[in-house]
Structure 1
Amino acid sequence: MRFRPSYKSRRGRVGVSLNGGSFILPRSLKGRFSKVSGMFSSLMTPEKRAVKRVTELSRNKSTYFGCLVQDYISFVQENRSCHTSGMDFLQTVRQFMTQTKAYLRQTSELDPPIESLIPEDQIDRVLEKAMHKCVLKPLKSVIEAILHDFQESSGAWRQLRENLALAKTKRPQEMGVDGAVPPDAVAIEKIRQKFVSMRKVYSPEKKVSLLLRVCKLIYTIMQDNSGRMFGADDFLPMLTYVVAQCDVPQLDAEIQYMMELLDPTLLQGEGGYYLTSAYGAMALIKNFQEEQAARVLSSEVRNTLHQWHRRRTTPRSAPSVDDFQVSHLS
């Protein structure tokens, strides 16, 4: 006869199944686990606590901010064909994140207020990270699908794959490389893996960080193999050659993602330089022809880059709370 504890004796314990058996955890320990969880939370850096608080608020539909974020996510998921281009779509996402950041700086829904956790000069950077987590993370797969749909429908995807295949057969000199020794097969594979890793992250800042590592690696290889310094005019052809050898057509959408969603304040330094270099390399491949490899950016591409940089870096007045109407979601 199997012994069965009385209800009274079982009431103070919690049963947990382990591989078909049963482990009984006294309820008195349950409170201790809660305390430990609270202790770990208190050990978080102020930045992580702020990001966590914003993320939690974004999921709470009993708050205005939570409704705003969740309604926007639903709107994007359910209305994938209401934009004219991938760039147009990404610009609306960037605008939404910028507006919600402005709202968070003015709202009383954040408790404690973010200025009590983060120094004033770091608030915008921390809120940007929070936007990545509560907006870009849940929309990552949707954004990728929308960008790819635009590439497919325009024929750009097929053309890009064909041009990459053609460019991959060319020697460095045919791609405009002059005097620099290119990365070997091992280094090319290492770079390709970084491009693949870039697709796994949702934060445009982290994507740019991976791009920086790739570009610096290429620069280092160029200098180590040749024993001299190289300038921007030498780097672009080499980057174009490396991108062609890596043969990752999805990199085109990744570059577009970074260019439109990255915080404008990060476009002024190395991030902006290498991002425009990557855009230029991809533009050269898109316009690659059998007869003559494009070695310099066309005036059209240069004008596009100038317009993009001016549009993304020109300061604009921050929206106020009054601007937050969900009419654009209806």
Structure 2
Amino acid sequence: MAAAGSDGPGGAAAGRALQAAMRAASGALEMDSGGRRREAYVEYLKSIAFIAQALQEEAAGTEGSQEVTPDTPKMLKLAEQCLERVKSIAAALGKAQATPAVTERSGGPAPLPRHRRVFSDEGGKLSPFLPPEIFQKLQISEAQSTRKELTPLEEASLQNQKLKAAYEARVARLNPSQALQKTSLTLSLQRQMMENLVIAKAREETLQRKMEERRLRLQEAANRRFSSSVALTPEEQEQRALYAAILEYEQDHEWPRQWKARLQQSPLDPSLVPGLFSCLLRLLALTLLAFEGLSTAAGKDQCLACLEEAFFPPLWAPLLALYRSVHQPREAALARSMEQHRHASPADMGLSSRLFPPAAGCPAYGSAIQDLRLIPLETCPRRKLECIVRALRSICECAEEYSGARDGRTPASAAVGADDLLPILSYVVLRTGLPQLLSECAAMEEFIHEGYLIGEEGYCLTSLQSALAYLESLP
């Protein structure tokens, strides 16, 4: 089994490079989520440089052939996401540096920044692995914050800052003998600034009055729909409040009115109802509007999990059959390898002796093997991914236990490094005897939300795929 330590195409070397790149990007994303933008900026650049170097070495190693490893597209995608965050952070840092200069010039405090929600507000305490956050969510959050309209008072504040800057520029060009003109400019500035504030305050009050009138009008419409001669039940009261919120949502968004008009014009059109429900399931906007407690990262994840558990159980069996038909040659090669090496010991797979069970005859990493055997029994990608995460956690715990028992100490630090994980995981996969894990992982990678491919879950899935590719390539 000397081949256990080799780096073949699609084997350990490519897997380690992707894992290292994901760890670097995860560290940068953790800093980014925690508000440490300057440090995150540097780490994102380091991640991009590492990926570029790894891909350059890979290209040099395969010179003269057209082959690339299966991990190459993943590394390119990761580099692209890191680059997007670098551009976004650079723009934000540029704005932050420009703000003090404007404040100094205007002689007064700049307007307070509008609140921006980032997932560090919602995630609570960070775990050793990143929560399932994604680069795209950060990008969308920033884009939404920049698109917010200014209130009348904020617009007036910006106008007054411009007026004051123009006033100071004109005063700087005056001669000392033009004191009277300077006084006139000062009085004119004060009058214009005061007029701007008075007009803005009046506009603000008008907008508030209109918003209140609209709220009352929509509330009356909801009351008319749910009017009753007897007192409303708690359920009916909740429905009335929800209906009023929906009416208010329709005032600011065009798509509900468009769907209502299409349904009224063509009530017998069979394509409208599936299209409407598909639209509702993509935004979750109305659900989050009705239940504000779900408008968090954890709440949205739970909503997506509920949708997944409703849709995937009847679909997964035929979906997996399709993937297995596509990957049938690879599964066959993996099955042959599992059959030929079914009696391989941990030492044959390249494991260090300190990572063996101390007692003779004790099964090695039995709990991790059982976790992976549960994957075909689940029917949702998310639950299958949880089995993989549990298996890798169990591997780390068992390795620490074995290492500590041999050294006669309580393990205080992780005993498994990146070089140890692939041999252990390969041994565990070999013991499952399940070549269909290859197709299961391919389907999971396609249908799991890409946010989970950045944190702990993505690292575990990539590690399992690397172990499967290694076993497939064994002689």
Compute the TM-score of the two structures, normalised by the length of structure 1: 0.52
Alignment correspondent of 1:121: 296
Matched, 1:225 2:402: yes
Q: Which consecutive segments of 4 or more residues in structure 1 shift more than 6 A?
A: 61-65
Alignment correspondent of 1:139: 315
Q: Aligned to 1:172, what secondary structure does the other structure show? A: coil
Alignment correspondent of 1:195: 372
Matched, 1:157 2:157: no
Alignment correspondent of 2:173: none
CA apart distance, 1:101: 7.5
Structure 2 gaps of 5+ residues are 1-233, 239-267, 405-410
Distance 1:182 1:288, change over 3 A: same
Distance 1:142 1:65, change over 3 A: farther
Answer yes or no: is the 8 Å Cα contact 1:175–1:237 preserved in 2.
Answer: yes
Question: In 2, distance between residues paired with 1:203 and 1:140?
Answer: 7
Alignment correspondent of 2:451: 265
Larger radius of gyration: 2
Q: Aligned to 1:173, what secondary structure does the other structure show? A: coil
Answer yes or no: is the 8 Å Cα contact 2:351–2:423 preserved in 1.
Answer: yes
Alignment correspondent of 2:351: 177
Q: Aligned to 2:392, what secondary structure does the other structure show? A: helix
Answer yes or no: is the 8 Å Cα contact 2:331–2:436 preserved in 1.
Answer: no
Q: Aligned to 1:174, what secondary structure does the other structure show? A: coil
CA apart distance, 1:188: 5.0
Q: Which has the higher contact order (CA 8 A, sep 6+)?
A: 2
CA apart distance, 1:62: 9.0
Question: In 2, distance between residues paired with 1:275 and 1:286?
Answer: 17
Question: In 1, distance between residues paired with 2:303 and 2:272?
Answer: 13
CA apart distance, 1:119: 3.0
CA apart distance, 1:69: 9.8
Question: In 2, distance between residues paired with 1:284 and 1:211?
Answer: 17
Q: Deviations over 1:140-195 (max 9, x none)?
A: 1111211122233xx22221110111232323233221244346664555434322
Decide which of 301, 304, 324 is 1:148's aligned counterpart.
324
Answer yes or no: is the 8 Å Cα contact 1:101–1:127 preserved in 2.
Answer: no
Compute the TM-score of the two structures, normalised by the length of structure 2: 0.37
Q: Which amino acid aligns with 1:269?
A: G
Distance 1:66 1:131, change over 3 A: farther
Q: Which amino acid aligns with 2:283?
A: L
Distance 1:62 1:243, change over 3 A: farther
Structure 1 gaps of 5+ residues are 1-37, 43-60, 71-98, 290-330
CA apart distance, 1:102: 7.0
Answer yes or no: is the 8 Å Cα contact 2:356–2:364 preserved in 1.
Answer: no
Question: In 1, distance between residues paired with 2:276 and 2:305?
Answer: 15
Percent identity (aligned):
22
Decide which of 183, 189, 212 is 2:389's aligned counterpart.
212
Tell me how many residue pairs correspond in the alignment: 197
Distance 1:284 1:66, change over 3 A: farther
Q: Deviations over 1:104-129 (max 9, x none)?
A: 335xxx6xx43212432245424422
Distance 1:189 1:116, change over 3 A: same
Question: In 1, distance between residues paired with 2:280 and 2:341?
Answer: 42
Whichever structure has more helix as a proportion of its residues is 2
Alignment correspondent of 2:471: 285
Q: Which moves more between the two structures, 224-233 or 125-134? A: 125-134
Distance 1:185 1:210, change over 3 A: farther
Distance 1:135 1:173, change over 3 A: same
Matched, 1:67 2:67: no
Answer yes or no: is the 8 Å Cα contact 1:191–1:246 preserved in 2.
Answer: no
Answer yes or no: is the 8 Å Cα contact 1:101–1:124 preserved in 2.
Answer: no
CA apart distance, 1:239: 0.7
Answer yes or no: is the 8 Å Cα contact 2:365–2:395 preserved in 1.
Answer: no
CA apart distance, 1:260: 1.9
Question: In 2, distance between residues paired with 1:149 and 1:230?
Answer: 36
